[in-house]
Structure 1
């Protein structure tokens, strides 16, 4: 096989070998996987699911910010910015804040389904950063957020 270029779109369990957004040279190919030379300087077979063919732009999380004051709400709006200028948003809360939210006496309806709600251990910047980075590396950040115009 002539080598082909593939771009990593998520790392899955291959954090030792892949970096999201990096272009790799596929030195061999089977129906469902590529053999690439990974970040750990070894050749490894990885499922094609983790790649896009060719050199493609992959949005990467570059920053995030709270849009609400933490003292004002139980569900905090957050804006996320990517390297291509795209912005997305989500709600972030903790298990404790979620309990407080449902203690509101006039909550109507008494339940909800919010796909863009991320629950973190604490509202500490480090916990949020780590969670958002993980979602980004796994290719799940777009499912966990909504597009912001």
Structure 2
């Protein structure tokens, strides 16, 4: 990353007071693993370069709960996420109570790739969780390619 280049935020988690996911920024200065940019309030700040990429990243266009939620405190549902570039990802949301029931049914272990555990499941919690994972650049590693 070099002075004068346009970059895009991919991880705002620790710096949400300064940067916004997917927003573009112009590099004013760069050194080692740090870059200097005008933040969202146009104040110059130094931030880690790992929070940025040189290519536009797709927006989340929709979040679809693929299964019916019968019990907000004891459920397991799959969710499909669609992006502006046409790609899709899916993930599984499971409540802690549902996991405990699996163990109470004489299971000694439970495996699952990219499970997201919550205490309660509803549309709002699923959407907020997906947006938070996205802001932290953790959505792709916690969901599966469609």
Bucket of the pairwise TM-score, normalised by the shorter protein: 0.7 to 0.9
Give the Cα separation in 2 of the matches to 1:101 and 1:131.
Answer: 23
Give the Cα separation in 1 of the matches to 2:27 and 2:3.
Answer: 9
1:144 to 111, 130, 142: 142
Q: 1:66 to 1:5 in 2, by over 3 A?
A: same
Q: 1:147 to 1:2 in 2, by over 3 A?
A: closer
Moved over 6 A (4+): none
The 8 Å contact of residues 94 and 123 in structure 1, kept in 2 or not, is answered as yes
Aligned to 2:45: 44
Q: How does 1:5-20 map to 2 (within 5 A)?
A: 5-20=6-21
- CA displacement at 1:87 relative to structure 2: 0.8
1:126 to 109, 115, 124: 124
Q: Secondary structure at the match of 2:6?
A: strand
The 8 Å contact of residues 18 and 39 in structure 2, kept in 1 or not, is answered as yes
- CA displacement at 1:2 relative to structure 2: 4.5
Q: Secondary structure at the match of 1:62?
A: strand
- CA displacement at 1:42 relative to structure 2: 1.1
Structure 1 range deviating more: 114-123 or 86-95? 114-123
Cα RMSD of the aligned pairs, angstroms, is 2.0
The 8 Å contact of residues 63 and 79 in structure 2, kept in 1 or not, is answered as yes
Aligned to 1:64: 63
The TM-score with structure 1 as length reference comes to: 0.85
Structure 1 gap segments, 5+ residues each: none
Matched, 1:76 2:74: no
Give the Cα separation in 1 of the matches to 2:104 and 2:61.
Answer: 35
Give the Cα separation in 1 of the matches to 2:3 and 2:116.
Answer: 43
The TM-score with structure 2 as length reference comes to: 0.87
Q: Across the two proteins, how many residue pairs are aligned to each other? A: 143
